[in-house]
Amino acid sequence: MNQKELKELIEFLIDKDISEFELERGDVKVRIKRGADQQVAPIIQHIPVSNHPAPAAHPGPVAVSSTPLPAHPPATPAPPAAEEGLHIVKSPIVGTFYESPSPGSPPFVKAGDTIETGQVLCIIEAMKLMNEIESDISGELVKRLVNNSQPVEYGQPLFAIRPR
């Protein structure tokens, strides 16, 4: 991934109001986490094909501060960051996000709902395999972070839940 692609990725994440993002493709791993001040701190590391963890001293964070970031805040406010106590449910697979069991039926959950541990939150589909994603925590659903039928990456945040 070059600087231009990285910049496009960051702009996309800001545009879509995604606070945390991880991508693993070949031997490149990208992890981006946006803090409460809307700044972006990308980390790219080249991981060995053998899947052994990369040494911590490897290339290190790539500064992209030279790239001016859009000054305007996203249209919808970013979910409060982890330090404000929200639990983020992430996608365990690559696929397409569905908010309901079948087209036209009501969504599994919506903002404001009380969520129990083990409750189904959504379906991620890949290769005609419908993957029901359970909540691993009880609490109040604060926000859905992706749109219905949107493609999602491995580890992409799906829901923010305020633990009970």
Q: Is 115 exposed, middle or buried (0-12, 13-18, 19+ CB in 10 A)?
A: buried
125 forms part of the interface with other proteins (CB under 8 A): yes
What is the x/- site pattern for other proteins, positions 62-101, by CB under 8 A? ------------------------------xxxxx-----
Residue 127 lies near other proteins (rule: CB under 8 A): yes
Q: Give the span between the Cα atoms of 54 and 97, in whole angstroms.
A: 31
151 binds other proteins (CB under 8 A): yes
Q: Does 8 bind other proteins (CB under 8 A)?
A: no
- Closer residue to other proteins in complex, CB, 35/136: 136
Amino acid at 4: K
Q: How far is CA 98 from the centre of its chain?
A: 15
Least distance in angstroms from the C-beta of 134 to other proteins? 5
Q: What is the DSSP string of 57-77?
A: TSS-PPP-TTSPPP-SPPSSP
Size of the site for other proteins (CB under 8 A): 27
Residue 12 C-beta: closest distance to other proteins, Å = 14
* Residue 50 binding other proteins, by CB under 8 A: yes
29, 30, 32: which is closest to 20 by C-alpha? 32
- Out of 53, 55, 68, 103, the only residue in the binding site for other proteins (CB under 8 A) is 103
Q: Which residues contact 126 (CB under 8 A, 6 or more apart)?
A: 93, 94, 95, 96
Chain residues binding other proteins by CB under 8 A are 49-52, 92-96, 102-104, 118, 120, 125-134, 136, 151, 154
